[in-house]
Chains A and B, each alone.
Chain A
Amino acid sequence: MSVVEVKGLTVRYGSFTALDNLSVSIPSGSVGLLGPNGAGKTTLIKTILGFVTPASGSATVLGHDVATEDRLIRQKIGLMPEQDCHIPGMSAVQFVAYAGELAGVPPNNAIQRAHEVLEYCGLGEARYRKVETYSTGMKQRIKLAQAIVHGPKLLLLDEPTNGLDPAGRESMLDLIQSVTHEKGLNVLVSSHLLPDIERVCDEVVVVMGGKLVASGLIKDLKVIAGSPVDVELRETNDGFVKYLQDHGAGVEIRGPYSYRVQSTLSEAEKRLLVLAAARESQAQVRGLVLAERSLEEAFLTAVSGGGHQFEF
């Protein structure tokens, strides 16, 4: 089931085309939105929020048309923006409760809900402090708190780990992971940090030049054509490599004891071939796994024109 359906969407700013006949279906679950600067990610988010009027095409979010039902859409969406944002002069609990009221939660429910989400986001102890006095990590958390206070069906996270130290980043990713995978909230994460996307998302949508260049499950995107296997030996062994090459396999030496083995054989046959080579050359195999690209490699391949469409 899709939470966002975009069909032939074109958005222009004057003569600049930000989204060019984009069609994409963003499924439920946790999805990463990837693309280089100027790719159209932000414009897509603006469109989802109903802030821009498309030149052509249509988009629906949670079944509502962005052109006519933008307020209903925003009722069901929570946005955690990239920039720091707060209401000046408010404590955290006032701020989050107010965000709830803005989303229509009655004042009494909003204050109760604010306490709940602040506890959940790890700000329970600091809830009565002014938001201006918060550290960067706390500000990130309170942005998440204000985004989920009204119980959105879709959460838009724009660079959620921006400016965080490693510990803060881990903590924030844990929080996002918990919201998405344990609580079933649909999340669209826009980030330049591919490890973050890989950590919290199951699927990605890659846009460039206002067009869709790749989309699908991350594990599918990382698959390498021909299904090579990565082998790790205890020590360097020339006989192991020679045996494989003699049996028609290509061997790429990736490190002192690491090899990537490629051949036309099936994955199971390749594994058997590797084990046979180890037996013949007296090599001790420490690791044998199906090789896959990093998400970064997959992303670079996609944006450099080698991308392909995955069906959800």
Chain B
Amino acid sequence: MSSSPIADLSYRNYDGPLEPINHRWWSIAKSTMRLGFTNRFTWFFSFASGWYFYAMIFFIFIVDKVVESQPNPDAATAITSFFGSVRWNDKFLHGFQYGQFFYFVVAAILGSGAIANDVRANALLVYLSKPISKRDYVIGKWFGVFLPLLVIMGAPFLLFYLYGAMSFRDKGFISQDPWLFFRMLGLVTFCAGFYASLAMGISSMFSQGRSAGAVFAGLYFLTNFFTVPMSFGYMAMTGQQGRGRHRQEVAQSGLDALTYLSHASLDGINSALAKSVLGNPTTFPLAGNARGPVAGVPAPTIWFGLGIGLALVALCLYMAWRRVRAVDIVG
């Protein structure tokens, strides 16, 4: 008897079943996801990305319990009036905005090496010598980054939504904006596609995943650093509450320019779109229903976020498409 667990060690031809030739991209997507989640940082940042939603669930749960425990819940106190003035869309908007950094990190971990590491290890030889087309490869890799991002972004919002829908329907959770679920679904789908495309496009330009990740991070942080003074500039021009110039006194064109420039970053594009879809926030994050000390930067037109976002997505996918060339892989 053979000592090997496989008794017959001779080569045999494979004549078993084969998957349809048009489904091969899904194998690539599955493998990309599987490899991405072998990194423990992916798990950490994935869970961390929903921190605002978890915090809000906890906060609202406590408020709800406190209100219930009041001897007279109908008495108008700060805490009992919370649900009367809550704007649910703001909660989702803030959760989405606070998750942006984490979405970027997860996209960088999952996507930066998606093509670059394959180039480094000559893995394209393995892919393209099989019955895989360039389209299968690019689509498979893209979905391998996009689907995890979609789940990572969607799960906390869905959790919060279900909590709200089950517990606070009588407090306007559904009636305030019946389309909230679909708005959020659209937003996270766009955002996941946006980051997946960026990561893929940048990855295709390098032969080292770390180099691609560094460039992706540089792009994220540099644009972010640029938008911070723009936002402060906007807030300074519109004036702080109680002092300063009135908004109408400021040249409208300058404000418009700052509105756009304040969103000229990777997460700014998503943020602009979110504000356009969910409405400009009227409350300050993590402060119940209190208004902020200064007016936030409102959304530019919806076409700003959508246009630039889609243009970047198209550009990045084109870059990835161009860089993956079967003819280079032999010889």
- B113 interface contact, C-beta 8 A: yes
B14 in contact with A105 (CB, 8 Å): yes
User: Could you say which of A44-52, A232-240, A244-252 contacts chain B?
Assistant: A44-52
A90 at the interface (CB under 8 A from B): yes
Look across to chain B and name the residue whose beta carbon is closest to the beta carbon of A100. Answer: B14
Contact call A72/B13, Cβ cutoff below 8 A: no
Q: Are B14 and A151 in contact (CB under 8 A)?
A: yes
CB neighbours (8 Å) of A295 from chain B are none
Any chain B CB within 8 A of the CB of A82?
A: yes
Find out whether the CB atom of A105 lies under 8 angstroms from the CB atom of B16: yes
CB–CB B14/A113 < 8 A? yes
Q: Which of A82, A106, A185 is in CB contact (< 8 Å) with B331? A: A82
CB distance from B16 to the nearest CB of A (A): 5
Contact among B6, B18, B127 for A119, CB-based, below 8 A: B6
User: Contact check: which of B6, B118, B125, B131 meets A103 at CB < 8 Å?
Assistant: B131
Residue of B nearest to A79 (CB): B129
Binding-face segment, B21-29, B99-107, B304-312: B21-29
Proximity string of chain B (293-310) to chain A, C-beta cutoff 8 Å, 1 when within and 0 when not: 000000000000000000
Q: Does B289 contact A (CB under 8 A)?
A: no
Q: CA of A102 to CA of B126 in the docked complex: distance in angstroms? A: 9
Q: Which of A106, A124, A146, A151 contacts B19 (CB 8 A)?
A: A106
A84 and B11 alpha carbons, distance in the complex (Å): 23
Q: Is the CB of A109 within 8 A of B16?
A: yes
Q: Check if B167 is an interface residue, CB within 8 A of chain A.
A: no
Q: Encode B89-120 as 1/0 by CB contact (under 8 A) with A.
A: 00000000000000000000000010001101
Q: Is the CB of B129 within 8 A of A74?
A: yes
A23 within 8 A of B: no
CA distance A46 to B129 in the complex (A): 10
Residues of A within 8 A of B81 (CB): none
- B123 neighbours in A (Cβ, 8 Å): 85-88
Rounded to whole angstroms, the CA-CA distance of A75 and B9 in the bound complex is: 24
The distance from the CB of B73 to the nearest CB of chain A, in whole angstroms, is 56
Given A104-B21, A178-B11 in contact, is the A49-B129 Cβ separation under 8 Å?
A: yes
* Chain A positions within 8 Å of B330 at CB level: 42, 45-46, 49, 51, 79, 81, 158
Name 29 interchain pairs, CB-CB below 8 A, sorted by A: A45-B330, A46-B330, A49-B326, A71-B131, A72-B21, A72-B131, A74-B129, A74-B131, A77-B129, A79-B125, A79-B330, A81-B125, A81-B129, A82-B331, A83-B122, A85-B122, A87-B121, A100-B14, A102-B24, A104-B131, A105-B14, A106-B16, A116-B9, A116-B12, A119-B6, A124-B6, A147-B129, A151-B15, A158-B330
Residue numbers of A with Cβ under 8 A of B are 42, 45-46, 49, 51-52, 71-72, 74-75, 77-79, 81-90, 98-106, 109, 113, 115-117, 119-120, 124, 132, 146-151, 158, 178-179, 182-183, 185
